[in-house]
């Protein structure tokens, strides 16, 4: 028994070290060196050992990242050193004045470290002998909240450093733009309140009392300072950031050191142009005196260091007029208002529509027809009305009329408990049926090529289809009655519809539009149960036990399969020959697939002629490849289509094998 325990302990220690390294390469460096399937296999091995020997569970184990219980609240923690705010500058003259003050306060030459000012939530991370012990929000600068349990779920935050040092590092937790858009889209579809911007979303997520919620929302972090660094010899801010990288912590690579404030200004102007294209939101540039001895000479005011300043980008807003408020019904019955406005330029694009999200927002901001409003892009992407110019409001203005009945079917709208949205609950609402059809044929669902939104709308409005199963009973004659559908295009559509019957189960599950079930959850369910009939009869507790599913999704899946209409729909789909079985490679089998791609790290770039990028990525993953977005020395193959750019150049520099589509077609089985 002792020998078995000792062997298990040795293997647990090895697995934690190995998995930590792979996580660092994946989440911090964005340079994975192992396929996802291999990582999953090692993770499962660790999990089984910990289940067999509970005393071997370590606080820094990757399995301990996601808590399973609600937190009772957040304790208050006093910072050892205050987390001060920064003074602001808004133009070149403000930066020049800062530069002049600094040079009067310090001896010798001055150089400045410039860093992107993340729009997130400031936190302090404390590591003792290399292990994460505490994470605390900025709070009021002197006292913050202990959010260690939630921060541990952020995969870019290492639980163990590469060296057993005792340090305190500070940084910004943020939500990537893509995660923000998906989160708000999901919340709006489910009738929940939306977040105003990525910063609010990050703050709300980090302070959620359920660590599982935090884990599901894909937060990230950039560390920007080290305020306590023990025995480490560090003399400059740039050296501190490099040391953080060496320890395994994530810092923003978009930084630079300059000797003159004029060069700093050029950097500011450069990133003011680039900000809209960054994958995260920034609201300015932070400028710091680089050398620590000169920072000490410059000193502090009561509220802020004299050796640093934040240049704040001007808010990008446009002024326009609301001409109409349009109410539309989504596939889940949520009724969403949209402002139709005079067209304006915003962040390089022409904007004429802005979502008002829900009735509460309209009332809160008192938005009315013919109001003059200010609009901006939340997260630099989504147009939103931020405020009304009340001085420009017409004298005869009246509050917005909130609909009481569905604009599509005239059924009475309801406000369900715990929802901010108006919802149509009529199961036969034509607008919902139409949206469900559009979702069903979409690329990430059944992927019926050629059957776009306009054609689906025609099919529905001409009553050729009432639900998704009717698509499989369409005839060529019916299709040719549609606008712009001729003989050949009708044949192509029928071929696409027929081909979709062979899709694997996860696509069908996602296409059915089950509440809360996205493409990832659909895949997890399909991999677990393999057939739709097995899933239909699964116990709620069993569904809920799947990692990545959870209580809300499990309850929604169980409720869906209890519906008589849902079971009738599935029976109809089966009668048309639609596959209801998982045909993909199961996770435990992926590493054994006989494929040239098995275990290889692959990058795709350029325009592809024979493949759609999402489908190619899925195919390569099923063949055991780890498909990533960036080139590194660990990349095994670059697949290059037409007009390949910098990734092709870098691959050539690193002598990485480059494949064209013809080579790819030879290796990917039909």
pLDDT digits (tens, 9 = 90+) for 367-399: 999 999 999 876 556 788 988 999 999 888 999
The pLDDT, as a whole number, for residue 633 is: 77
For residues 200-218, average pLDDT = 85
Percent of the chain clearing pLDDT 90 (strictly above): 38
d(CA 196, CA 364) in angstroms, rounded, equals: 13
Q: pLDDT digits over 431-475, tens only? A: 888 888 999 998 778 989 888 888 999 998 899 998 899 999 999
Cα dihedral 113, 119, 123, 129 sign: negative
Nearest partner of 168 among 269, 81, 109, judged by Cα: 81
The pLDDT, as a whole number, for residue 66 is: 55
d(CA 297, CA 373) in angstroms, rounded, equals: 48
Residue 26 has pLDDT above 70, yes or no: no
* Helix then strand then coil, % of the chain, to nearest 5: 40, 20, 40
Q: pLDDT digits over 73-105, tens only? A: 788 889 998 888 888 888 899 999 999 999 999
**Token duo for residue 244:** 């953080």
Tell me which of 33-42, 153-162, 194-203, 285-294 is least confident: 33-42
The pLDDT, as a whole number, for residue 72 is: 58
Tell me which of 104-113, 185-194, 231-240, 323-332 is least confident: 185-194
DSSP string over 634-660: T--EEEE-BT--HHHHHHHHTT--EE-
The pLDDT, as a whole number, for residue 293 is: 93
For residues 26-53, average pLDDT = 74
Cβ atoms of 217 and 183 closer than 8 Å: yes
For residues 18-34, average pLDDT = 71
Of 9, 41, 76, 117, the catalytic one is: 117
Cβ neighbours of residue 351 closer than 8 Å, sequence gap 6 or more: 318, 341, 343, 344, 345, 375, 377, 383
Query: 385 in helix, strand or coil?
Result: strand
Cα dihedral 147, 151, 152, 158 sign: negative
Sheet holding 601-605, edge to edge: 626-628, 601-605, 637-640, 658-659
For residues 544-564, average pLDDT = 86
Find the Cα–Cα–Cα–Cα dihedral 164, 168, 172, 173, rounded to 10°.
50
Cβ atoms of 424 and 329 closer than 8 Å: yes
Residue 493 has pLDDT above 80, yes or no: yes
Residue 79 has a CB neighbour count (10 Å cut-off) of 20
Cβ atoms of 80 and 252 closer than 8 Å: no
The pLDDT, as a whole number, for residue 241 is: 95
The pLDDT, as a whole number, for residue 325 is: 93
The pLDDT, as a whole number, for residue 69 is: 47
Per-residue confidence band for 620, with pLDDT thresholds at 50, 70 and 90: confident
The pLDDT, as a whole number, for residue 525 is: 93
Instruction: Please give the backbone phi and psi of residue 300, each rounded to the nearest 5 degrees, phi first.
Output: -135, 155
**Token duo for residue 430:** 């034509």
d(CA 88, CA 307) in angstroms, rounded, equals: 12
Residue 59 has pLDDT above 90, yes or no: no
Residue 527 has pLDDT above 70, yes or no: yes
**Token duo for residue 362:** 């309209």
The pLDDT, as a whole number, for residue 70 is: 45
Per-residue confidence band for 502, with pLDDT thresholds at 50, 70 and 90: very high
For residues 3-13, average pLDDT = 86
For residues 56-72, average pLDDT = 66
Radius of gyration (C-alpha) of the chain in whole angstroms: 28
Query: All domains of the chain, ordered by start, with CATH?
Result: 2-64 (1.10.287.610), 88-312 (3.30.470.30), 316-423 (2.40.50.140), 430-575 (1.10.150.20), 593-667 (3.40.50.10190)
What mean pLDDT, rounded, does the chain reach?
86
Q: Which helix (H) or strand (E) holds 466?
A: none
Q: Which helix (H) or strand (E) holds 377?
A: strand 372-378
Residue 534 has pLDDT above 60, yes or no: yes
**Catalytic status, residue 76:** no
Instruction: Please give the backbone phi and psi of residue 525, each rounded to the nearest 5 degrees, phi first.
Output: -65, -40
For residues 533-554, average pLDDT = 88
Residue 228 has pLDDT above 60, yes or no: yes
Per-residue confidence band for 68, with pLDDT thresholds at 50, 70 and 90: very low
pTM here is 0.59
For residues 516-529, average pLDDT = 87
In total, the chain counts a number of residues equal to 670
d(CA 199, CA 174) in angstroms, rounded, equals: 6
Residues 501-526 as b/e (b if ≥16 CB within 10 A, e otherwise) read eebbbbbbbbbbbbebbeeebbbbbb
d(CA 222, CA 172) in angstroms, rounded, equals: 6
> Would you give the distance in Å from CA 94 to the centre of its chain?
36
Q: pLDDT digits over 119-159, tens only? A: 889 999 999 999 999 999 988 788 888 999 899 999 899 99
């Amino acid at each position: 028994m002792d020998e078995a325990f000792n062997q298990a302990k040795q293997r647990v220690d090895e697995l934690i070290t190995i998995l930590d390294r792979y996580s660092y390469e994946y989440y911090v460096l964005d340079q994975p060196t192992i396929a996802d399937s291999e990582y999953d296999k090692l993770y499962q091995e660790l999990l089984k050992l910990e289940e067999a020997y509970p005393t071997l569970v370590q606080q820094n184990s990757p399995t301990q990242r996601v808590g399973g219980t609600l937190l009772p609240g957040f304790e208050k923690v006093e910072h050892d050193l205050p987390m001060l705010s920064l003074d602001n500058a808004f133009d070149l003259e403000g930066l020049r004045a800062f530069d002049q003050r600094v040079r009067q306060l310090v001896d010798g030459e001055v150089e400045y470290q410039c860093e992107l000012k993340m729009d997130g939530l400031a936190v302090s991370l404390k590591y003792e002998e290399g292990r994460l012990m505490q994470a605390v929000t900025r709070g009021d600068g002197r006292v913050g909240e202990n959010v260690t349990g939630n921060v541990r779920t952020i995969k870019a935050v290492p639980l163990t450093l590469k060296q057993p040092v005792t340090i305190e590092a500070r940084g910004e937790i943020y939500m990537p733009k893509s995660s923000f858009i998906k989160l708000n889209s999901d919340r709006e579809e489910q009738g929940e309140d939306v977040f105003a911007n990525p910063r609010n979303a990050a703050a709300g997520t980090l302070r959620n009392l359920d660590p599982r919620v935090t884990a599901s929302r894909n937060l990230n972090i950039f560390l920007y300072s080290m305020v306590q660094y023990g025995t480490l010899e560090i003399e400059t801010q740039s050296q501190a950031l490099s040391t953080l990288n060496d320890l395994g912590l994530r810092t923003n690579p978009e930084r630079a050191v300059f000797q003159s404030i004029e060069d700093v200004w050029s950097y500011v102007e450069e990133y003011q142009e680039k900000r809209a294209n960054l994958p995260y939101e920034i609201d300015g540039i932070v400028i710091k005196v680089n050398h620590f001895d000169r920072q000490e000479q410059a000193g502090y005011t009561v509220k802020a260091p004299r050796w640093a300043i934040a240049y704040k980008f001007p808010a990008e807003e446009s002024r326009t007029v609301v001409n109409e408020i349009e109410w539309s019904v989504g596939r889940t019955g949520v009724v969403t208002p949209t402002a139709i406005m005079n067209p304006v330029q915003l962040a390089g694009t022409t904007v004429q529509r802005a979502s008002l999200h829900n009735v509460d927002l309209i009332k809160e901001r008192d938005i009315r027809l013919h109001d003059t409003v200010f609009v901006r892009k939340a997260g630099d992407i989504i147009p939103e009305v931020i405020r009304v110019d009340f001085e420009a409001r017409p004298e005869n203005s009246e509050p917005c009329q909130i609909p009481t009945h569905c604009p599509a079917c005239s059924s009475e709208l309801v406000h369900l408990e715990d929802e901010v949205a108006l919802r149509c609950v009529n199961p036969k609402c034509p607008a919902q049926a139409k949206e469900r059809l559009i979702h069903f044929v979409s690329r990430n669902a059944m992927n019926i090529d050629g059957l776009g939104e306009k054609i689906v709308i025609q099919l529905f409005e001409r009553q050729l289809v009432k639900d998704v199963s009717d698509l499989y009973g369409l005839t060529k004659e019916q299709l040719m009655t549609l606008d712009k559908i001729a003989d050949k295009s009708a044949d192509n559509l029928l071929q696409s519809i027929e081909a979709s019957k062979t899709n694997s189960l996860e696509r069908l599950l996602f296409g059915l539009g089950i509440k809360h079930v996205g493409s990832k959850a659909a895949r997890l369910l399909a991999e677990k149960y393999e057939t739709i009939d097995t899933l239909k009869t699964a116990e709620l507790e069993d569904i809920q036990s799947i990692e990545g599913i959870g209580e809300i999704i499990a309850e929604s899946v169980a409720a869906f399969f209890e519906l008589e209409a849902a079971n009738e729909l599935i029976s109809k789909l089966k009668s048309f020959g639609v596959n209801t079985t998982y045909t993909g490679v199961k996770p435990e089998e992926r590493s054994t697939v006989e494929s040239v791609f098995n275990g290889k790290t692959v990058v795709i770039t350029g325009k592809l002629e024979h493949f759609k990028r999402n489908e190619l990525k899925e195919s390569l993953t099923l063949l055991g490849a780890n498909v990533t977005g960036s080139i590194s020395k660990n990349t095994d193959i670059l697949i290059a289509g037409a007009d390949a750019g910098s990734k092709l150049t870098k691959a050539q520099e690193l002598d990485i094998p480059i494949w064209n589509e013809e080579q790819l077609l030879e290796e990917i089985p039909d």
